[in-house]
Amino acid sequence: MNLELNDKVIIITGAAKGIGRGIAEVFAGEGAVAVIVGRKAADNQLVVAEITAKGGRAFQVEAELSDPEACEKAVKAVIEQFGRIDGLVNNAGVNDGVGLEHGNYADFLSSLHKNVVHYYLMAHHALPELIRSKGAIVNITSKTGETGQGNTSAYAASNGARNALTREWAVELLKYNIRVNAIVVAECWTPQYETWIETLPDAAEKLKEISSKIPLENRMTTVEEIANTAAFLMSSRSSHTTGQIVYVDGGYVHLDRALANA
- For residues 66 and 137, state if they share a domain: yes
Residue 2 lies in a domain: no
Assess whether 201 and 116 both reside in one domain. Answer: no
Do 48 and 160 fall into the same domain? yes
Q: pLDDT confidence of 262, banded at 50, 70, 90?
A: low
Q: Are residues 39 and 145 in the same domain?
A: yes
Same domain, 139 and 207: no
* Residue 59 in domain: yes
Per-residue pLDDT band for 17 (boundaries 50, 70, 90) equals: very high
User: CATH number of the domain that 178 lies in?
Assistant: 3.40.50.720
Q: What is the pLDDT of residue 39?
A: 97
What is the pLDDT at residue 261? 64
Same domain, yes or no, for 179 and 89?
yes
Query: Do 216 and 134 belong together in one domain?
Result: no
For the question of residue 155 being annotated catalytic, the response is: yes
Tens-digit pLDDT profile for residues 233-253: 999 999 999 999 999 999 999
Summary mean pLDDT of the chain: 96
Q: Which tens digit of pLDDT belongs to each residue from 178-202?
A: 999 999 999 999 988 888 899 999 9
pLDDT in the model for residue 260: 66
State whether 213 and 122 are in the same domain: no
Which one, of 8, 18, 133, 129, lies nearest residue 59 by Cα? 8
117 and 22 belong to one structural domain = yes
The Cα–Cα gap between 149 and 206 comes to 16
- Whether 131 is in a domain gets the answer yes
pTM greater than the 0.85 cutoff? yes
- Any idea what the Cα angle at residue 187 is, between residues 4 and 18, rounded to 5°? 55
Res. 51: pLDDT tops 80: yes
Full residue range of the structural domain in which residue 150 is found: 9-186+222-247
* pLDDT for the residue 257: 72
Residue 261: inside a domain: no
- Are residues 195 and 132 located together in one domain of the fold? no
> Which of 155, 193, 247, 252 is flagged as catalytic?
155
| Torsion sign (Cα): 136, 13, 57, 55 | negative
Reported as a single tens digit per residue, the pLDDT across 85-136 is 999 999 999 999 999 999 999 999 999 999 999 999 999 999 999 999 999 9
Number of domains in the chain: 2
- The mean-pLDDT minimum among 7-21, 43-57, 92-106, 196-210 falls in 196-210
Residues 111 and 197 in one domain: no
